[in-house]
Amino acid sequence: MTDLVTFGETMLRLSPPRHERFETATAFDVYPGGAESNAAVAAARLGADATWISKLPDTALGRRVISDLKRYGLDADVVWTETGRQGVYYLEIAGEPRGTDVVYDRADAAVTTATVDELSTDLLEDAAVFLTSGITPALSATLERTVGDLLEIAREAGVQTAFDVNYRSKLWSPAEARETIETYFPSIDALVTPVRDARNVLEATGEADEIATTLADEWGFETVVITCGSDGAVAYHGGTLVDRSAFETETIAPIGTGDAFVGGFFASRLEGVDVGTALEYGAAVAALKRTIPGDVAIVDRDEVDRIVAGEHATISR
């Protein structure tokens, strides 16, 4: 039995080094990046048996995605295709006032044609948790259907279903996102959403604890987790609200922080810990991710345990 199965797109990210501009860079750093694979890597690094399923082009770039993810300790079950292409995105990182710029080049990516008939649903049906996000159905009408089908297959198999709203304004409008995502709600056991997405996409009102309670009551979710950035996170589970603070961190690379939190949270829940402790582990993995270049939280269990225990970093000699 697999602990965690995730489904979604993983792109290759190209970033100019040393905060250079796109138009002057002469080299680019290359990293894999995808919400669901990022979360699965974080969970695997904490000891979960995690598998990412998807569809990739049988090209050098598609194989680069797999080689990187496996190097990070993640299992993958991929449909290889001769059609479609590998999605890429460009990330120019800078501080204020310049800010960070993202350019997507993911049109006609192989994953946009993925259907349940070609994916390994047997892996999904034998998992403890199935996770996907709101990014995936925004990529194509086919994926909108596939995500819904996978959630229903998992739910019918008794697998806990988890969904991260993970709204992206460059993919669809809040109204479009809400219309689609709410059709999945009856098939979702655990909902994770940043507080900004809860308000802007799901039209929720109030503070994070009120939002969590309202969403759980309205839709019957077993668990609702509201992430609030530097203000920590709130969860509603079993009729009880719990909250935990974020851990202090020096931000070097913020991309992928939310995915790291999700991976840390579900890896901990799979171990049987309470929701409050799982929030702490999610926050610890997220804090570490902000110190790591790329999209993926390349962490180890000992350092995560150390942060949860409140131990301060020192020079390791």
Residue 105, φ and ψ in degrees, nearest 5: -135, 70
Amino acid at 233: A
* Three-state secondary-structure class, residue 244: strand
Mean pLDDT for 281-294 is 97
Q: What is the DSSP string of 165-196?
A: ----TTT--HHHHHHHHHHHGGG-SEEEEEHH
- The kind and range of the H/E element at 284 are helix 275-289
> How close are the terminal C-alpha atoms of the chain, in Å?
39
Q: What is the pLDDT of residue 80?
A: 98
Name the DSSP class of 85: B
Mean pLDDT for 291-299 is 96
Task: Tell me the per-residue pLDDT of 176-223, one tens digit each, with 9 for 90 and over.
Answer: 999 999 999 999 999 999 999 999 999 999 999 999 999 999 999 999
- The answer to whether the CB of 296 falls within 8 A of the CB of 41 is yes
C-alpha distances out from residue 45 to 50, 212, 229, 284, Å: 9, 28, 22, 13
Query: Rounded to whole angstroms, how far apart are CA atoms 220 and 65?
Result: 37
Q: Which residues are catalytic?
A: 259
Tell me if the pTM is above 0.75: yes
C-alpha distances out from residue 250 to 30, 96, 196, 231, 289, Å: 23, 16, 22, 15, 10
pLDDT at 317 over 70: no
Q: How many residues does the chain have?
A: 317
Q: What is the pLDDT of residue 312?
A: 66
User: Among 184, 131, 132, which residue's Cα sits nearest to residue 2?
Assistant: 131
Q: What is the pLDDT of residue 314?
A: 56
Rounded mean pLDDT of the chain? 96
Query: Rounded to whole angstroms, how far apart are CA atoms 55 and 229?
Result: 31
Residues sharing a CB contact under 8 Å with residue 163, sequence separation 6 or more, in sequence order: 131, 132, 133, 134, 151, 181, 184, 188, 190, 191, 192
* Peptide bond connecting 194 to the previous residue in cis, omega within 30 degrees of 0: no
Q: What is the pLDDT of residue 156?
A: 97
Query: Rounded to whole angstroms, how far apart are CA atoms 281 and 178?
Result: 29
Q: What is the pLDDT of residue 311?
A: 82
Mean pLDDT for 261-288 is 98
- Domains of the chain, first to last: 2-308 (3.40.1190.20)
Q: What is the pLDDT of residue 99?
A: 86
Q: What is the DSSP string of 22-76?
A: TTT-S--EEEEE-HHHHHHHHHHHTT--EEEEEEEESSHHHHHHHHHHHHTT-EE
Query: Rounded to whole angstroms, how far apart are CA atoms 245 and 236?
Result: 15
- The answer to whether the CB of 23 falls within 8 A of the CB of 47 is no
Mean pLDDT for 166-173 is 96
Q: Please report, rounded to a whole number, the percentage of residues in the chain having pLDDT higher than 90.
A: 93
C-alpha distances out from residue 191 to 30, 118, 172, 267, 277, Å: 31, 26, 20, 15, 17
Q: Please report, rounded to a whole number, the percentage of residues in the chain having pLDDT higher than 70.
A: 98
- The kind and range of the H/E element at 212 are helix 208-219
pLDDT at 315 over 60: no
pLDDT at 308 over 80: yes
Task: Tell me the per-residue pLDDT of 98-144, one tens digit each, with 9 for 90 and over.
Answer: 888 999 999 999 999 999 999 999 999 999 999 999 999 999 999 99
Q: What is the pLDDT of residue 95?
A: 81
Task: Tell me the per-residue pLDDT of 37-77, one tens digit each, with 9 for 90 and over.
Answer: 999 999 999 999 999 999 999 999 999 999 999 999 999 99
Count of C-beta atoms within a 10 Å radius of residue 155: 16
